[in-house]
């Protein structure tokens, strides 16, 4: 039915209902009287016109009545109330009297017939048009507003195979009750029993207010069954309208290991990014590209994407141009080891802020190629930092790692030495130099998660180095947001440390991924392979002599790091190629762990 025909049909039905209501009311009160009195005709005309006027105001003719709910009932209630009230005023003005009893009965008939005509459409749809024969029997976890919304969407949607059979909820007051004719079947702990007894084929977790720990606990109960478990879309996607509430998604490892996001100081970040030129090294990497996405939200005057790999830079450039066509983007393909090129770019772009994310991060590869770690992580950082100082950059933020604390690997040692360079530059330059440390990032290219997923996809086994090995984890967006926040807090010389929450056992991460993929450990076994060269059993974010207990911002700490003799570092930068791989590895560990003579830097304070 076309829109115009639908409107005409509703107006015709409502007109008949209004006339019938007032004539039935008159017949009930005066069964032997004439139905065509002046009072009745005037009242009918006024009520009819006022009904259509208020129906237009409350958009009764634009509502989809097969999805009718309390909002639609409220609209009907208001239209009838105002129509009857206006009719009473018309009677008082034109007839000098108000026929209260007639209007009262008319009001009841009006509500009953208008409401019945609308809600009968929904009753018909729910009863006959959507029988859901053969649909997957679905259990909804959470009998609150979100759970009710999910049940309604599943019943009304023609695009889903899911058929809701009931709820589980830990609220004692809801036990044994029914919501939308669906029973509350028990508590969350009863899920395994209910799945077996009721032949449940699908589970939906519909509690948006869950924190990470609560989601972990519920998911652990759900995984005792072999039933597919999904959750609601992320709240930000629902709010922005990117997805609908019935577009459920699989539980991801980020949901179980991530943490509730911290509120950012938007004004503080905007002060040093908005309308400024910002340059990001390693802009095509997993961390660098997310930093670019976060920066773009603050409308920089110019965003410079610098990277060595042309494909990754092209990918992030195209993404940003597609999503933010008004953003002023410049791209630079350059290797940070190319000192002359880096100085040339920095002088030409004259950025206000530099985020230095370019680095070699893979621990085993750097153990086998220590000279490459020195060239990229040490010399490359030195080039970018000195070029930034020469270009009078306001703020320089280096992305570091928890592996720089008491390092046992080449990668960690070179990142710690890079921190030393940044701290030294802060002492001799007008630029504010800071470093930001955080642990493993979920989904980054160096993360263990892509490896585990590939192993699961190929049928296993999943390889874990040691059952006791633990790591800190953070999502890429959260890490990138906190990097931006740390930059706004920079006074110069700090090593900021992001609060990574509680450490997670790698074996638990592997088990979660196996369960999330729909397998058991019997199907995809876990094999322990032993620690690799350079690895540590436990990661640290600060060594004992670096700890500041107070947070400078929620989830951001400021570390105390000792002042060092930068000459030791610069000597290594000049002579690294004179060492064998093993000698270079040992020299890096000695410098990074302060096992060589370290003299206080005698440089001019800022």
pLDDT digits (tens, 9 = 90+) for 130-186: 545 557 888 999 888 888 888 877 876 666 778 888 999 988 888 888 887 788 888
The DSSP letter of residue 127 is I
DSSP string, 214-263: HHHHHHHHHTTS-SEEEEPPPHHHHHHTSS-TT--EE--HHHHH--PPPP
Q: In angstroms, what CA-CA distances link 511 with 461, 462, 517, 529?
A: 12, 9, 10, 16
- Give dist(CA 215, CA 256) in Å, integer: 7
CATH number of 266-599: 3.40.50.720
Confidence of residue 208 (pLDDT cuts 50, 70, 90): confident
- Give dist(CA 577, CA 372) in Å, integer: 10
Q: Quick one: CA dihedral 584, 585, 591, 594, positive or negative?
A: negative
Residue 62's pLDDT is what? 65
Residue 410's pLDDT is what? 93
From the list 257, 276, 172, the residue with the least C-alpha distance to 219 is: 257
Rounded to the nearest integer, the mean pLDDT of the chain is 80
Residue 606's pLDDT is what? 35
> Which residues are CB-neighbours of 554 under 8 A, at least 6 positions away?
262, 263, 499
Q: Catalytic site residue 555?
A: no
Q: In a 3-state reduction of DSSP, which class is residue 264?
A: coil
Q: In angstroms, what CA-CA distances link 299 with 277, 291, 303?
A: 10, 13, 9
Tell me the HSE value of 584 on the side-chain side, using a 13 A CA sphere: 23
Q: Which of 375, 403, 536, 555 is catalytic?
A: 403
- Give dist(CA 284, CA 589) in Å, integer: 29
- Give dist(CA 566, CA 599) in Å, integer: 8
Residues forming a β-bridge with 278: 303, 353
Considering the chain, tell me which residue range(s) the CATH 3.40.50.720 domain(s) occupy.
136-251, 266-599
Least confidently predicted of 109-123, 137-151, 348-362? 109-123
Element (H or E) spanning 138, and its range?
strand 136-141
pLDDT digits (tens, 9 = 90+) for 553-604: 777 777 766 666 688 888 887 888 888 999 999 999 888 887 765 444 333 3
From the list 181, 116, 194, 187, the residue with the least C-alpha distance to 154 is: 181
Asked if 566 contacts 385 with a C-beta cutoff of 8 angstroms, the reply is: no
Asked if 305 contacts 317 with a C-beta cutoff of 8 angstroms, the reply is: yes
- Give dist(CA 393, CA 377) in Å, integer: 20
- Give dist(CA 358, CA 592) in Å, integer: 20
pLDDT digits (tens, 9 = 90+) for 454-501: 888 888 788 888 887 877 677 777 778 888 888 888 888 888 887 666
Residue 602's pLDDT is what? 34
Residue 531's pLDDT is what? 75
Residue 603's pLDDT is what? 37
Residue 329's pLDDT is what? 95
Tell me the HSE value of 12 on the side-chain side, using a 13 A CA sphere: 6
What is the Cα Rg of the chain in Å?
A: 34
CATH number of 136-251: 3.40.50.720
Pairing, β 432-437 against β 395-399: parallel
pTM above 0.85, yes or no: no
Residue 605's pLDDT is what? 34
- Give dist(CA 359, CA 356) in Å, integer: 8
Least confidently predicted of 131-140, 195-204, 333-342? 131-140
Could you tell me where the DSSP H helices lie in 490-580? 506-516, 566-575
Which has more confidence, 98 or 312?
312
From the list 258, 321, 309, the residue with the least C-alpha distance to 285 is: 309
Could you tell me where the DSSP H helices lie in 521-565? none
> Which residues are CB-neighbours of 506 under 8 A, at least 6 positions away?
448, 464, 465, 466, 469, 470, 471
């Amino acid at each position: 039915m076309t829109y115009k025909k639908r409107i005409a049909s509703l107006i015709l039905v409502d007109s008949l209902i209004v006339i019938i209501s007032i004539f039935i009311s008159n017949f009930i009160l005066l069964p032997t009287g004439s139905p065509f009195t002046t009072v009745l005709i005037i009242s009918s005309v006024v009520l009819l016109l006022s009904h259509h006027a208020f129906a237009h105001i409350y958009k009764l003719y634009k509502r989809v009545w097969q999805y009718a709910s309390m909002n639609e009932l409220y609209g009907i209630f208001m239209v009838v109330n105002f129509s009857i009230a206006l009719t009473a005023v018309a009677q008082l003005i034109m007839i000098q009297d108000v026929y209260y009893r007639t209007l009262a009965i008319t009001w009841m008939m009006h509500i009953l017939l208008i409401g019945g005509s609308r809600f009968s459409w929904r009753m018909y749809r729910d009863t006959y048009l959507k029988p859901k024969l053969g649909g997957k029997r679905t259990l909804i976890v959470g009998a609150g507003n979100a759970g009710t919304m999910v049940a309604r969407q599943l019943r009304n949607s023609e695009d889903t195979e899911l058929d809701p059979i009931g709820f589980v909820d830990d609220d004692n007051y809801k036990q044994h009750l029914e919501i939308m004719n669906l029973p509350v079947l028990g508590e969350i702990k009863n899920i395994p029993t209910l799945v077996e007894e009721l032949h449940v084929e699908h589970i939906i977790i519909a509690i948006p207010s869950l924190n990470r720990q609560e989601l972990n606990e519920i998911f652990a109960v759900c995984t005792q069954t072999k039933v597919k478990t999904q959750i609601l879309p992320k709240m930000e996607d629902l709010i922005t309208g990117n997805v609908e509430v019935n577009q459920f998604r699989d539980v991801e490892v980020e949901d179980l290991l991530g943490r509730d996001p911290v509120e950012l100081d938007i004004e503080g970040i905007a002060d040093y990014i908005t309308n400024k030129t910002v340059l990001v090294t390693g802009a095509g990497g997993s961390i660098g590209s997310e930093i670019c996405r976060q920066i773009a939200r603050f409308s920089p005057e110019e965003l410079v994407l610098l990277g060595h790999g042309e494909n990754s830079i092209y990918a992030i450039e195209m993404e940003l141009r597609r999503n933010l066509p008004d953003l002023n983007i410049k791209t630079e393909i350059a290797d940070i080891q190319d000192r002359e090129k880096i100085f040339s770019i920095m002088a030409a772009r004259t950025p206000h802020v530099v985020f230095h994310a370019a680095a070699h991060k893979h621990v085993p590869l750097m153990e086998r190629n220590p000279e490459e770690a020195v060239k990229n992580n040490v010399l490359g950082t030195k080039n970018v930092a000195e070029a930034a100082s020469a270009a009078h950059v306001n703020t320089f933020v280096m992305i570091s790692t928890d592996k720089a604390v008491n390092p046992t690997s080449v990668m960690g040692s070179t990142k710690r030495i890079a921190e030393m360079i940044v701290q030294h530059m802060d002492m001799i330059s007008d630029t504010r130099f800071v470093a930001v440390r955080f642990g493993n990032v979920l989904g980054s290219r160096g993360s263990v998660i892509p490896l585990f997923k590939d192993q699961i996809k190929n049928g296993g086994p999943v390889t874990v180095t040691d059952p006791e090995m633990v790591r800190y984890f953070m999502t890429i967006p959260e890490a990138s947001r906190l990097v931006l926040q740390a930059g706004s807090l920079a006074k110069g010389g700090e090593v900021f440390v992001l609060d990574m929450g509680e450490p997670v056992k790698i074996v638990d991460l592997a088990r979660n991924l196996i369960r999330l993929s729909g397998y058991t450990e019997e199907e995809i076994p876990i094999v322990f392979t032993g620690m690799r060269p350079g690895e540590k059993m436990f990661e640290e974010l600060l060594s004992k002599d670096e700890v500041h207990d107070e947070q400078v911002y929620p989830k951001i700490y400021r570390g105390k790091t000792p002042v060092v003799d930068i000459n030791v570092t610069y000597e290594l930068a000049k002579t690294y190629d004179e060492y064998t791989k093993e000698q270079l590895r040992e020299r890096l560990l000695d410098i990074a762990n302060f096992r060589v003579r370290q003299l206080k830097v005698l440089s001019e304070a800022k």
